[in-house]
Amino acid sequence: MSRANDTEILLPRASRRGFLGAAAALAAGATLPHAGPALAKAPLAKNQAPYFYRFGLGQAEVTVVSDGPLPLGDPGASFLGVSKETVGKMLSDSFLPTDNVVLEQNIPIVNFGDRLVMFDTGMGFSKAFGPTTGRLLKSMEEAGIRPGDIDDIVCSHAHIDHIGGICSADDKALFPNARVHISQADFDFWTDEAKLGGPLKAFVAHARANLLPVRDRIVFFKSEAEVLPGVTAIAAPGHTAGHHIFNVSSGGKSFAFLGDLTHHAVLLTENPRLEFAYDSDPKQAVQSRVRLLTSLAENKTPVMSFHFAWPGFGNLAKAGDGFRYYPAPMEMLRG
């Protein structure tokens, strides 16, 4: 069959004449008519979505809120043990900036049905790492959670960005009904007045400002023991002497809240033997990191990381001499 007959089969004769006429007009430079001028102008919306995310955990519900991004600055100054060039290549290979490492501050609040338990509290009123931190209360407001409804605060350790949101700058408890759970080793070390004259002054001062006003509400937990129903402390020393991670469980489901076991999904996870400048005992921190990440990966335990990219929930798998972090898909519709 001829090409002309093919066209006649595809298009009726009248439609074929119109089609050929339109094609000729376009070839001559004509433009198609339109309804009027495009009216797509609008002001740029520079705000983001509210800073919280929810997911289920067995019979419990987890709301992750943020205290805001925490910029560390030059990656080579914080992540040690290899050359700055190696650190930069690890970042660039993962399509991440090489001039500034920005950590998240992911704070899970677990509703067990009979109590609300929050893990760590962010920087609070300290601006030691810049103006983007300190938004915990705003994030909670966006999520519809009132500070007075928090029953327990579980602290992985007493560093400035984990206990910083317990009290206000004028020594008032921001969570008036909450007990504070922390290891005694970290409490004793970071509230020691004698250290105010040394290099740890800023960290010690902020720990004292947040922990001493609520001293009568502090409960010391023991390693490898239940902190609260559904929450078990697991020793992970090195970052600080009393640093812990926590197994959080409900209805047969669980995740591990990592605290500062690893600060970065690439630098300290894919290469867990790198050292971190803020570790009290870097060698011990490496041992804890390798041991616990190995266990979590082998057991396929989901993880909630304080410092990974928002919202910090996912899984780990062994990858060569290190580990690969797989962020869990965010479920934006929940029935």
- Helix H or strand E segment including 27: helix 13-27
Residue burial 76-98, b: 16+ Cβ < 10 Å; e: rest: bebbeebeeeebbebbeeeebeb
For residue 10, what pLDDT is reported? 43
The greatest distance separating any two alpha carbons of the chain, rounded to the nearest whole angstrom, comes to: 98
- In this structure, the number of other CB atoms found within 10 A of the CB of residue 142 comes to 15
Number of domains in the chain: 2
Residue 334: band (very low, low, confident or very high) from pLDDT cuts 50, 70, 90: confident
For residue 36, what pLDDT is reported? 63
Choice between 251 and 43, residue whose per-residue pLDDT is larger: 251
Percent of the chain clearing pLDDT 90 (strictly above):
84
Task: Supply the angle between the helices 13-27 and 3-10 in degrees, to the nearest 10.
Answer: 110
Domain holding 5, by residue range, is: 1-29
Residues 191 and 274 in one domain: yes
Residue 81 has pLDDT above 70, yes or no: yes
Residue 23 has pLDDT above 90, yes or no: no
> By C-alpha distance, which of 225, 270, 312, 311 is closest to 51?
311
Question: Is residue 39, in this structure, part of any structural domain at all?
Answer: no
Residue burial 215-241, b: 16+ Cβ < 10 Å; e: rest: eebbeebeeeeebbebbbbbbbbbbbb
Residue 34: band (very low, low, confident or very high) from pLDDT cuts 50, 70, 90: low
Residue 18, SS3? helix
For residue 41, what pLDDT is reported? 83
Question: Is residue 194, in this structure, part of any structural domain at all?
Answer: yes
The whole-number average pLDDT for the span 259-273 is 97
For residue 31, what pLDDT is reported? 53
In the structure encoding, which two tokens stand for residue 270, read together? 């894919």
Question: Is residue 269, in this structure, part of any structural domain at all?
Answer: yes
Residues 223 and 273 in one domain: yes
For residue 39, what pLDDT is reported? 66
Residue 27 has pLDDT above 90, yes or no: no
Residue 2: band (very low, low, confident or very high) from pLDDT cuts 50, 70, 90: very low
In the structure encoding, which two tokens stand for residue 209, read together? 């400002």
Residue 185 has pLDDT above 70, yes or no: yes
Residues 246 and 119 in one domain: yes
Residue 3: band (very low, low, confident or very high) from pLDDT cuts 50, 70, 90: very low
> What is the average pLDDT value for the chain, to the nearest integer?
91
In the structure encoding, which two tokens stand for residue 288, read together? 């804890």
Question: Is residue 271, in this structure, part of any structural domain at all?
Answer: yes
For residue 38, what pLDDT is reported? 64
pLDDT in tens, 114-148: 999 999 999 999 999 999 999 999 999 999 999 99
Question: Is residue 335, in this structure, part of any structural domain at all?
Answer: no
* 11, 212, 243, 275, 323 from 278: Cα distances, Å: 74, 23, 13, 9, 21
Residue 312 has pLDDT above 50, yes or no: yes
> By C-alpha distance, which of 291, 265, 263 is closest to 275?
263
For residue 212, what pLDDT is reported? 98
| Type of residue numbered 38 | A
The whole-number average pLDDT for the span 244-270 is 97
CATH number at residue 123: 3.60.15.10
Question: Is residue 34, in this structure, part of any structural domain at all?
Answer: no
For residue 107, what pLDDT is reported? 98
Residues 141 and 7 in one domain: no
Residues 205 and 65 in one domain: yes
